[in-house]
Amino acid sequence: MQPCGRFAPSPSGRMHLGNVLCALLAWLSVRARGGRFLLRIEDLDPERCPRALADLIEDDLRWLGLDWDAGGAASGETYYQSSRTAVYETYYETLARKAEVYPCFCSRAALHAASAPHLSDGRVLYAGTCYGLSPAETAEKRRSRCPAARIHVPDETVSFVDGVQGAYSENLAAECGDFILRRSDGVFAYQLAVTVDDGLMGVTEVVRGRDLLESTARQIWMHRLLGFEPPQYFHIPLLLDYDGRRLSKRDDDLDLGMLRERFPPEQVVGALAYAAGLAGSPAPVRAADLVTGFDWAKVPKTDLYLPNVFRQL
């Protein structure tokens, strides 16, 4: 099967250097093996993700020298998650047949109460409060609150080998807990949408920040329930600011709007390639010139510091 990779940005802001690193590595990985590259716009929450920002991401990718074979505006609505609700509905029904999906009335405050079980990384493990409500209790609660939909996970350990982080295992019941498939406002959750889309779009490799490593076990579990072959995962290091803080979309001082005014694309690509172990120096380079020497073994798993050239900004 031809390798297929994807870049799946949520256009809630302009791309920052961390997003650029992710797009670059995803593109190099698949281009180095002659594969297809997709651009999927993860705008499940259309209010936070206006189309104009998605268009800017396309423009920024072109500026960086990264191309794609399908997706974005040229493919119509197919690769915008905001247009795929009917697709998610179908797969949601399948999941509800294969596992237990139940209404959850818990408020955000209740979920984060001090008594809620917290995992070592700060995430809250769902305590199962609404699992097993009787039909009468459910009907009563529905009168005052619209429920979210949660899926019950089994006491099952999912293991996989991440292409960057190595062997990883997670027990779904103990380390993930029952999770949301659809929010109380009807919007499908990222976990469902990303699994369905990667499965249906034939994605064979997923490259993304290591902050999403803990989402992977449940996605693999859903891939299997839905009859998809799970992709291979590569969770890349995060880019840290000088003070050790990770870059975020709020740091608009380092977004591509500003970077494009000050640097040519080859300098941005060269500095990131050097930081990621793919080039011997931070000299300017075109993305296309990195394809031949690309090797995941060169990419470190520990977080990366912002390249020097961007530090004086």
Per CB under 6 A, the segment of 7-15, 155-163, 166-174, 249-257 that binds ligand GLU is 7-15
Least distance CB 194 / ligand GLU (angstroms): 5
Considering the complex, state which of residue 98 and residue 210 has its C-beta at the smaller distance from ligand GLU: 210
Under the criterion CB under 6 A, does residue 208 sit at the interface with ligand GLU?
yes
Least distance CB 24 / ligand GLU (angstroms): 14
Between strands 239-240 and 70-71, the pairing is unpaired
Considering the complex, state which of residue 208 and residue 279 has its C-beta at the smaller distance from ligand GLU: 208
**Tokens representing 216?**
């992977």
For residue 37, give the H/E element and its range.
strand 36-39
Least distance CB 127 / ligand GLU (angstroms): 27
Under the criterion CB under 6 A, does residue 71 sit at the interface with ligand GLU?
no
Interaction with ligand GLU in 180-199: which residues (CB under 6 A)? 194
Least distance CB 192 / ligand GLU (angstroms): 12
Q: What is the 3-state secondary structure (H, E, C) of 92-159?
A: HHHHHHHCCEEEECCCHHHHCCCCCCECCCCCECCCCCCCCCCHHHHHHHHCCCCCEEEECCCCCEEE
Under the criterion CB under 6 A, does residue 163 sit at the interface with ligand GLU?
no
Closest CA relative to residue 35, chosen from 7, 2, 8, 67: 2
Under the criterion CB under 6 A, does residue 73 sit at the interface with ligand GLU?
no
Between strands 157-162 and 148-151, the pairing is unpaired
Percent of residues in the chain assigned helix, strand, coil, to nearest 5: 40, 20, 40
Interaction with ligand GLU in 260-279: which residues (CB under 6 A)? none
**Tokens representing 57?**
């991401």
Judged by CB under 6 A, the residue of 96, 133, 212, 258 near ligand GLU is 212
Considering the complex, state which of residue 164 and residue 194 has its C-beta at the smaller distance from ligand GLU: 194
* The amino acid at 169: S
Non-local CB neighbours of 191 within 8 Å, separated by 6+ positions? 179, 180, 181, 215, 218, 219, 222
Least distance CB 206 / ligand GLU (angstroms): 6
Per CB under 6 A, the segment of 2-10, 63-71, 258-266, 302-310 that binds ligand GLU is 2-10
Least distance CB 225 / ligand GLU (angstroms): 18
Q: How far is CA 160 from CA 4, 141, 257, in A?
A: 19, 39, 38
Under the criterion CB under 6 A, does residue 9 sit at the interface with ligand GLU?
yes
Least distance CB 77 / ligand GLU (angstroms): 17
179-182, strands of its sheet edge to edge: 101-104, 148-151, 179-182
Judged by CB under 6 A, the residue of 28, 39, 42, 287 near ligand GLU is 42
Considering the complex, state which of residue 26 and residue 148 has its C-beta at the smaller distance from ligand GLU: 26
Contact 31, 270 (CB under 8 A): no
Under the criterion CB under 6 A, does residue 204 sit at the interface with ligand GLU?
no
Non-local CB neighbours of 226 within 8 Å, separated by 6+ positions? 91, 94, 95, 98, 195, 196, 199
Q: Which residues bind ligand GLU (CB under 6 A)?
A: 8-10, 42, 194, 206, 208, 212
